[in-house]
Amino acid sequence: MSKHCREFKLQVAKLALETNSRAIGRQFDVTHRQVRYWSSVYRIHGLNSFLHKEKPYSRDFKLSALKAINENNWSLTYTSAHLDLSSPGMLFEWQKQYHSGGITNLTPRRKGRPSMKQRSPQPKPSEQMTEKELREELAYLRAENAVLKKLEALAQKRKKKTKTKP
């Protein structure tokens, strides 16, 4: 999610076409580079700027963006403005990923934590377990039993306290 909404970017970009980007940056508390970038995107795309329709960007799109840089000798800033990306830093990251691992590194990945792996619903039968596995399971069950006994003792202690208090 972008820090600034689309309407704000359009407003700043329109003003930047008429006035100094540093003054506008100070007025709206945005860096002058960001103001210049937004104005260049606005110059290229007009009112259709800052839509970012293709998110998350596919591997083919990323590869075509990197090819456009090399074939046309465009800067990262101009290329990202031409493609209406949210920032030129995205292209820099794509370049790094491409140079470090090729096309496979450009494949979009899911965000967030990976889902937990499902454990097998039924444990192994004890006949198929090795002696070591049986000993580990026995130790686990003993520890679990001890915890449950302590929990029960605490619950009884609380009941006893509440009974004695008038």
* Tens-place pLDDT, residues 22-62: 888 888 888 888 888 888 888 888 888 888 776 778 888 88
Is residue 119 over pLDDT 80?
no
Categorise residue 24: left if φ over 0, alpha if ψ from -120 to 50, beta otherwise.
alpha
Between CA 133 and CA 119 the distance in angstroms is 17
Q: Is 80 exposed, middle or buried (0-12, 13-18, 19+ CB in 10 A)?
A: buried
Amino acid in position 154: L
pLDDT band at 149 (very low <50, low <70, confident <90, very high): very high
Q: How far apart are CA 127 and CA 165, in angstroms?
A: 53
- Burial class of residue 99 (count of CB atoms within 10 Å of its CB; 0-12, 13-18, 19+): exposed
Q: Structure tokens of 59?
A: 């591997």
> pLDDT at position 1, please?
45
Amino acid at site 110:
R
CB of 28 within 8 A of CB of 34? no
User: pLDDT tens across 58-117, in order?
Assistant: 888 888 888 988 899 888 888 888 888 888 888 899 889 888 888 887 888 777 888 887
Q: Tell whether the torsion through CA atoms of 30, 35, 77 and 61 is positive or negative.
A: positive
